[in-house]
Amino acid sequence: MIDVESAARELAEARDTGKPCPPLRGRLLPEGDVGAAYRVQQRQVGEWLASGQRRVGAKIGLTSRAVQENLGVYEPDFGMLTDAMAVPDGAEVSIDSLLQPRVEAEVAFVLGADLPDERITSADLLRAVDHLLPAIEIVDSRVAGWDISIVDTVADNASSGLFVLGTTPRRPADVDLRLCGMVLEHAGEPVSVGAGAACLGNPLHALAWLAGTMARAGDPLRAGDVVLSGALGPMVSVTPGAAYEARISGLGSVRTCFSSREVDG
CA dist 157 and 79 (Å) reads 5
Which residue positions in the chain have pLDDT lower than 50?
A: 265
Residue 111 lies in a domain: yes
CATH label of the domain that carries residue 77 = 3.90.850.10
Residue 50 lies in a domain: no
Q: Please report the pLDDT score of residue 64 as a whole number.
A: 85
Could you tell me which residues come within 8 angstroms of residue 204 by beta carbon, excluding any fewer than 6 positions away? Answer: 122, 125, 126, 172, 177, 229
CA dist 140 and 14 (Å) reads 11
Please, what's the b/e burial string for 183-193 (b: 16 or more CB within 10 A of its CB; e: otherwise)? bbbbeeeebbe
pLDDT tens-place string over residues 16-46: 999 999 999 999 999 999 999 999 999 999 9
CA-to-CA dists, residue 159 to 127, 153, 250, angstroms: 30, 5, 28
Residue 203 lies in a domain: yes
Residue 1 lies in a domain: no
Residue 213 lies in a domain: yes
Q: Please report the pLDDT score of residue 220 as a whole number.
A: 97
Q: Please report the pLDDT score of residue 261 as a whole number.
A: 81
Phi and psi at 151, nearest 5°, equal -65, -45
The 3-state secondary structure of 10-75 reads HHHHHHHHCCCECCCECCCECCCCHHHHHHHHHHHHHHHHHCCCCEEEEEEECCCHHHHHHHCCCC
Q: Please report the pLDDT score of residue 134 as a whole number.
A: 98
Residue 178 lies in a domain: yes
Residue 8 lies in a domain: no
Find how far residue 141's CA is from the centre of its chain.
Answer: 11
Q: Please report the pLDDT score of residue 265 as a whole number.
A: 47
CA-to-CA dists, residue 139 to 61, 70, 84, angstroms: 10, 18, 14
Residue range of the domain that includes 107: 55-258
In this structure, are residues 180 and 248 in contact, taking their beta carbons and an 8 Å threshold? Answer: yes
Please, what's the b/e burial string for 157-176 (b: 16 or more CB within 10 A of its CB; e: otherwise)? bbbbbbbbbbeeebebeebe
CB atoms near residue 84 (< 10 Å): 12
By CB atoms closer than 10 A (0-12, 13-18, 19+), residue 68 is middle
Residue 30 lies in a domain: no
pLDDT tens-place string over residues 219-242: 999 999 999 999 999 999 999 999
Domain count for the chain: 1
